Amino acid sequence: MSDDAEFEAFFVESYGGLLRTLTVIIGDSEMAADALQDAYQKAYVRWGRIRRYDAPAAWVRHVAVNRSRDLIRSNERRRRNEERAAGPDQAFDPDIDDSLLSLLRPLPARQRTAMALFYLEDLSVEQVADAMGVSSGAVKYHLNQGREKLRPLLEERGKQ
Amino acid sequence: MTTDPFRDAFERMAPRPVDPAAARAELGALTPGFQKARRFHRVRLGAATAVCAVGLALGGPAVLGAVGSGDSSAPVDFANEGEPGPDIADAAEVDSAVDQIDDSSAGEEFETPDHLDSDGSSDPTEDQPIEITGVADDSADSSVPSADDTTTPAAAADEVAVSDGGSVSYKVVDGALVFVNHQPVSGFEPELVKDNGHEIKVRFSDASVYFEVEIELKDGVPEEDSTGPRTLGSSGDNSGSGSGDESDEHDENDEPSTEEG
């Protein structure tokens, strides 16, 4: 299998899940796609090396999560501006099912990232820590804080 | 069905992932940009390699040191270009730390070697054919040294004395000074004035000025000196960038000149 064919197989296999996770983390599918594009481009340029990794997708995920930091700030600025102009609940990406996005929206980016990686990507705490570039203890902290904030929101939705 | 209410909620409420056909279409749209980035990356690697090669050929470590004397205050982790940054134990520092890691700069602007690559820059696109003449592929089996290579060419084992007119390669073998070669700067003609086993003297001259490089073995240790520029056919002094003190050991036909620090 040629390098390009191998990269294509890798891309097709990993792109969908990563895009979903990044969309949940960032709250915007286009920005998520941009972050992933950057990450996949880096992987493509270095594919000769990346392809030998045990988990090339983990490398891409890490790069994309790092990139998402800037995008989250940018998105939050944009959302605040849109909220001022159009009121709340109008800011998240309207093109996708925003039920999870709106649920996670009150969470800080770190907690959102940890929960998305843990629950959507089904990563271990250690893998989440690696993807975020933080310690396992920090991930556990973010997960606990996120759960504490989500619990009442989920209960409230359950009643509806 | 899991018993974790959060996992259930995430699985139930998360947007549906893109299907493979859509992913393939997305890749088709992105591929031209990816290929362009890869070519650019190779050009940068090739340029870095060429600079290293020229630097080693002309002046060795001295020239490379001068070339690399720019601001290097920001340390680059060459082992992790474009990759995850340092581990951060304090959760409160995650944001600021990730900012510092900014992978976009790591992989793109300064693909650090694995990087001389930064961007992360530094990289292996080893199995791909080289599409641009003169561009180094960083593949492991490439005959062209990659930016990541830590080895230096065989010639680098020689010592190199530098002047603005050119450089002189030499080595010490069994207590004797051995001239290897000279590399004039473009426009200069080299002349081996002296080579007697304990002293080497090379003059690099163009139409109007010349530089001299001298290496002398003193107590088994080579001492380098470079002088110039000196004007040919006049006794006037010339300002220049000669790095060494002017020597008294001029040939008879050398034009007298004043010292230039």
What element of type H or E holds A132?
A: helix A125-132
Amino acid at the residue B8: D
For an interface test with A, the pick among B3, B6, B12 (most A C-beta atoms closer than 10 Å) comes out as: B6
Q: What are the structure tokens assigned to B93, written together? A: 């520092």
| The pLDDT value given to residue A18 | 93
For A42-66, write each residue's pLDDT tens digit. Answer: 999 989 888 888 889 999 999 999 8
Burial group, residue B201, by CB count within 10 angstroms (0-12, 13-18, 19+): buried
Q: What is the CATH number of domain A3-159?
A: 1.20.140.160
**Sequence spans of domains, chain A:** 3-159
pLDDT at A126: 93
Contacts of B116 in chain A (CB under 8 A): none
| Beta carbons of A47 and B125 less than 8 Å apart | yes
Q: Which bin fits B35, alpha (ψ -120 to 50), beta or left (φ > 0)?
A: alpha
Q: Say whether B34 and A3 touch across the interface (CB within 8 A).
A: no
**In this structure, are residues A15 and A24 in contact, taking their beta carbons and an 8 Å threshold?**
no
Record: contact A48-B125, CB cut-off 8 A: yes
Tokens found for residue B147 = 């930016």
At residue B82, the pLDDT reads 43
Min distance A96 CA to chain B CA atoms (Å): 7
Minimum CA–CA partner of B38 in chain A: A45
Measured between CA atoms, the residue of chain A closest to residue B83 is A63
pLDDT tens digits for B67-80?
554 444 444 343 34
Query: Which residue from B41, B88, B125 is facing A134, i.e. has the nearest CB?
Result: B88
- Tokens (6 digits) for A100: 């999870």
Contact check, Cβ <8 Å, A119/B7: yes
For residue A18, the chain B residue with the least C-alpha distance is B17
Contact B23 A130 (CB under 8 A): no
Distance from CA of A115 to the nearest CA of B (A): 9
Q: Which two tokens stand for residue B87?
A: 């581990």
Predicted confidence at residue B231, as pLDDT, reads 77
Spans in chain B with pLDDT lower than 50: 69-156, 234-261
Supply the Cα-derived Rg of chain B in whole angstroms: 27
User: Cβ B87–A141 below 8 Å, yes or no?
Assistant: no
Residues of chain A with Cβ-Cβ distance to B99 below 8 Å are: 69-70
Which residues does chain A have with pLDDT short of 50?
88-96
Q: Both tokens of residue B91? A: 């959760």
